[in-house]
Amino acid sequence: MTIQTTRLSDPAVRGFVTAVNAHDRDAFLALLAPDATMADDGADRDLAEWIDQEIFSSNGHMEVDNESNGGRALIARYRNDTWGEMRTRWDFTVDEQGRIARFETGQA
């Protein structure tokens, strides 16, 4: 069963999912710490390049099925125009200012 985005526990993660689904790059970038990093399937990637390819230029969309770790770990059905839909895991590190310092994703 899908969790409504507005019911996600962690404010930064809720904002992340909202920005992805709204295709709002400015809102997305505002959620990230200045030196934010990310990894996909265990490999560190260039954040700007990855979000452009996997989210914003390919109509990325997340439907969250499960959250844990206080809302900072998600299982979601993620789809985009490049890869179609897949079951993915997302783990977030949120800094003291409430911004996302790191996220890791991959197939679940």
pLDDT of the chain, 108 residues: tens digit per residue: 899 999 999 999 999 999 999 999 999 999 999 999 999 999 999 999 999 999 999 999 999 999 999 999 999 999 999 999 999 999 999 999 999 999 999 999
Per-position DSSP letters for 46-98, written without gaps between them = -HHHHHIIIIITTT-EEEEEEEEGGGTEEEEEEEETTTEEEEEEEEEEE-TTS
At 107 the pLDDT is 95
Q: Give, in words, the CATH class of 5-107.
A: alpha beta
pLDDT in the model for residue 103? 98
How far apart, in whole angstroms, are the C-alpha atoms of residue 41 and residue 59?
A: 20
d(CA 45, CA 23): 20
Phi then psi for residue 33, to 5 deg, are -65, 155
For residue 25, what are the contacts with CB-CB under 8 A and spacing of at least 6?
19, 51, 56
